Every structure is written in structure tokens, then in C-alpha cells.
């Protein structure tokens, strides 16, 4: 597999399948791990950072489950490649900031990614479409066990796995769910929901994780603390919270259909009309309009188009993806023109 091959592949988190996939875009489990007797990444010298990279690379090669993975050293990537991977949720902004002695492990399905020398020596990530946290946990738990046969992880019986950030100490587990909540936003209930989530020691971020604002009515909800709980407890707590949010969104969608259907259909069809006919469109406007069209598809107001098509448009209209498709650098105006062309072509047969 080559990096550019991903442009022709549907990311796991955008397949539009799995439980509650009309509201839950994806589920992700991430594990933070550090190697014993080696300083955390922010304290590494060059020799130690290179040692971590080589140890992880050797361990990956020894694990049959990961034999088809691509191992990338970040210094081999240019800024466009890095942005491309961020847009696909395969690496973080933090990891892309510098490339000295950093690595990334990707599997062909884009379910698994492992960042090497990010905030921790290893950040293991597994993503599943829909509301599937326990399925993601089962996969990542197996990978963690297999890697631990070849790597000595920093672990203290009283505290659990040791991590750079104290909030990750313990299990090192961060579970997150990407939610599409247009009805709660339209009904102006979202701030109340987010405030309640924060009081329960969960955090909410935007489409691309930490440091990003919510856009397109997408919200990532994740646990803040893992110390003092085992993995199943952490995931069960997230599941219980997400089920409540799903219920709120479902009820609000139904209320809008019953009591404000004309307004709802107007917003959905206006959004669809702009997307289908625009010749120039920005990335932000595209995300906002696609959010409303996706709602229309999920509520069966718009027919003749699959949810996965809308999901794919969220991704391939992002700046790095447009330039990968064209195989060249594009100015902002060129991207806005190409983005509109792609959307028109994909929606032309929908009535």
C-alpha cells in the first residue's frame, strides 16, 4: 500500500454503517503507551527518539496482525501529505507539527493507526463506523496485547500505565464518539447539552479533535479521566452518556418534523440547491450545507442518494484531498472551483 492509494479508499469513519449511524458518525478508542526506562517524548534527545522509533518499527514487523501495515517516518512526508492524513483522522495536528524521529503506522482498511513519538511514545487508535466503541476496544486490546509481547511498556501497579499527561494515566484509554447533532443545534439546545456533558467530566471537541471548533454540527465527545477505572467501565460510562445524547437528538428531529416541517424542509432543500448548482464554494460552507443535506437523507426527505455518498463528500472536498485528486498544488480559488465541480457531479442525478 502507498499513501496515495488512500484517495481511492473509503475511510472507516465515513462508511455510514453501524448502530445509530444516522447520528453517530464514528467511534474511536485510543490507547496511550510509553516505553519503560525511556523519557517521555517531550524529554527525549535525538538518540532516544530514534531508539523509540526503531523499537516500535521492529515490534510492528514481528506482529502478524499488523504485517500489512504501512510504516511511515514523518520526515518522508511533505505538508500536503500530513494535512491529507489529518483530514482522514489518521494523525493529529500535534503529531504533524514537527517530523523529527516521528512515525505513523497505518493499516490498509484505515481502522488502525499508531502515532509514534507524539505526546506519548505510542498513540494506538482504532476507529469504527457508527456507535461501536466495544468493537473498537476489542480490536485495540488485541493489538495492545500483541505489541506488549515485544515492547516493555511503562507500568506502575498503583497507577497503571504511565503517560505524559496525568489525565491519561491508568488505563491510558480515551474513547470518543463523533456525533452529528443538527437538530439540537437548530433548536438551540446544544449549549445546554454541552454544559451537561462537561459537568460529567467529559470533553467536547470539533471535527478534527483537540484544538478545533465544532463545524457542520459535528461534535466529538470523549472521556477526560481514565485513572481509577478499568477499560470496560470507561467505555460503559461513555456509552451511557452517548445514548442519552442520541435520544435527545432523535426526539428533537421528530419534534422538528412534526411541528416545524416547512422550516426544516426549506433549510434542507436550500442547502441541497446551493450544493447542486454552485460553481464556487468554500470548505466551511460545504461542511455546513452538507450537514443539512445529510440530515435530509437521514430523515428520508431527500431520496435517491446514500448516506455514504454525502459522508464521502465531507472528506474529498477538504483542501488536501482536492489537491491529491488533482495531483498538484491548488490556490484557494482553484480549490473552491474544483470543490464545487465535484459536488455538482456527485449530486447531478439526485432530484
Sign of CA dihedral 126, 129, 214, 204: negative
CATH number for 180: 3.30.590.10
Q: Are the CB atoms for 246 and 181 separated by under 8 Å?
A: no
In a domain, 208, yes or no: no
Does residue 245 sit within a domain?
no
User: If pLDDT is split at 50, 70 and 90, which confidence band does 23 have?
Assistant: very high
| Dist. CA 143–CA 305, nearest whole Å | 37
Tens of pLDDT along 151-163?
Answer: 999 999 888 899 9
In a domain, 194, yes or no: no
Whether 178 and 274 map to the same domain: the answer is: no
Question: What pLDDT does residue 324 have?
Answer: 95
In a domain, 318, yes or no: yes
Note the pLDDT of residue 15.
84
- Bridge partner residues of 124 (DSSP): 31, 114
According to DSSP H, which parts of 260-306 are helical? 261-277, 283-298
Tell me what pLDDT residue 200 has: 87
Q: pLDDT (tens digit, 9 = 90+) per residue, 28-86? A: 999 999 999 999 998 999 999 999 999 999 999 999 999 889 999 999 999 999 999 99
Q: Evaluate whether residue 312 is within a structural domain.
A: yes
- Assigned domain for 317 exists: yes
pTM, two decimals, is: 0.92
Q: Which residue has the higher pLDDT, 13 or 221?
A: 221
Closest-CA residue to 310 (of 276, 281, 262): 276
- What is the rounded CA–CA span in Å between residue 69 and residue 82? 18
Q: How far apart are CA 294 and CA 310, in angstroms?
A: 6
Q: Range of 275's domain?
A: 261-347
- Closest C-alpha to 114, from 137, 149, 156, 143: 143
Residue 215 belongs to a domain? no
Query: 165 versus 241: which is more confidently predicted?
Result: 241
Chain segment 111-136, per-residue pLDDT in tens: 999 999 999 999 999 999 999 999 99
Q: How many domains does the chain have?
A: 2
In the numeric block, which cell numbers belong to residue 284?
A: 466551511
Alpha-carbon span 27 to 177, nearest angstrom: 5
**Residue 189 CA: distances (Å) to CA of 60, 71, 252, 307, 317:** 46, 44, 9, 25, 29
User: Which residue is listed with cell 421528530?
Assistant: 254
228 conformational bin, left if phi > 0, alpha if psi -120 to 50, beta if neither: left
159 and 284 co-located in one domain: no
* 304-331 tens-digit pLDDT: 898 989 999 999 999 999 999 999 999 9
Q: Which of 185, 218, 246 is the last residue of a domain?
A: 185
Amino acid at each position: 500500500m502507498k499513501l496515495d492509494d488512500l484517495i481511492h479508499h473509503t475511510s472507516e469513519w465515513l462508511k455510514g454503517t453501524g448502530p445509530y449511524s444516522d447520528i453517530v458518525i464514528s467511534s474511536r478508542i485510543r490507547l496511550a503507551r510509553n516505553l519503560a526506562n525511556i523519557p517521555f517524548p517531550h524529554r527525549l534527545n535525538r538518540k532516544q527518539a530514534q531508539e523509540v522509533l526503531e523499537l516500535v518499527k521492529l515490534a510492528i514487523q514481528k506482529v502478524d496482525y499488523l504485517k500489512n501495515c504501512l510504516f511511515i517516518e514523518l520526515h518522508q512526508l511533505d505538508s500536503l501529505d500530513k494535512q491529507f492524513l489529518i483530514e482522514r483522522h489518521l494523525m493529529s495536528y500535534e503529531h504533524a507539527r514537527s517530523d523529527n524521529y516521528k512515525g505513523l503506522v497505518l493499516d490498509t482498511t484505515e481502522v488502525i493507526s499508531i502515532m509514534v513519538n507524539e505526546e506519548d511514545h505510542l498513540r494506538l487508535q482504532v476507529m469504527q463506523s457508527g456507535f461501536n466503541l466495544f468493537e473498537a476496544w476489542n480490536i485495540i486490546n488485541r493489538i495492545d496485547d500483541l505489541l506488549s509481547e515485544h515492547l516493555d511498556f511503562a507500568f506502575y501497579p498503583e497507577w497503571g500505565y504511565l503517560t505524559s499527561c496525568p489525565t491519561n494515566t491508568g488505563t491510558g484509554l480515551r474513547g470518543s464518539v463523533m456525533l452529528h447533532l443538527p437538530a439540537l443545534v437548530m433548536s438551540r439546545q446544544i449549549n445546554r447539552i454541552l454544559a451537561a456533558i462537561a459537568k460529567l467530566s467529559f470533553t467536547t471537541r470539533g471535527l478534527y479533535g483537540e484544538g478545533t471548533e465544532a463545524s457542520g454540527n459535528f461534535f466529538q465527545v470523549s472521556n477526560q479521566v481514565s485513572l481509577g477505572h478499568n477499560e470496560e467501565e470507561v467505555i460503559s460510562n461513555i456509552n451511557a452518556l452517548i445514548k442519552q445524547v442520541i435520544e435527545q437528538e432523535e426526539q428533537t428531529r421528530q419534534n422538528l418534523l412534526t411541528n416545524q416541517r416547512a422550516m426544516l424542509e426549506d433549510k434542507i432543500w436550500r442547502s441541497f440547491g446551493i450544493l447542486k448548482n454552485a460553481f464556487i464554494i468554500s470548505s466551511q460552507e460545504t461542511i455546513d450545507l452538507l450537514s443539512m443535506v445529510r440530515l435530509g437523507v437521514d430523515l428520508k426527505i431527500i431520496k435517491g442518494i446514500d448516506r455514504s455518498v454525502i459522508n464521502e463528500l465531507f472528506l474529498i472536498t477538504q483542501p488536501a484531498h482536492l489537491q491529491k485528486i488533482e495531483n498538484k498544488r491548488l490556490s484557494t480559488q482553484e480549490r473552491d472551483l474544483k470543490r464545487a465541480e465535484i459536488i455538482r457531479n456527485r449530486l447531478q442525478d439526485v432530484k
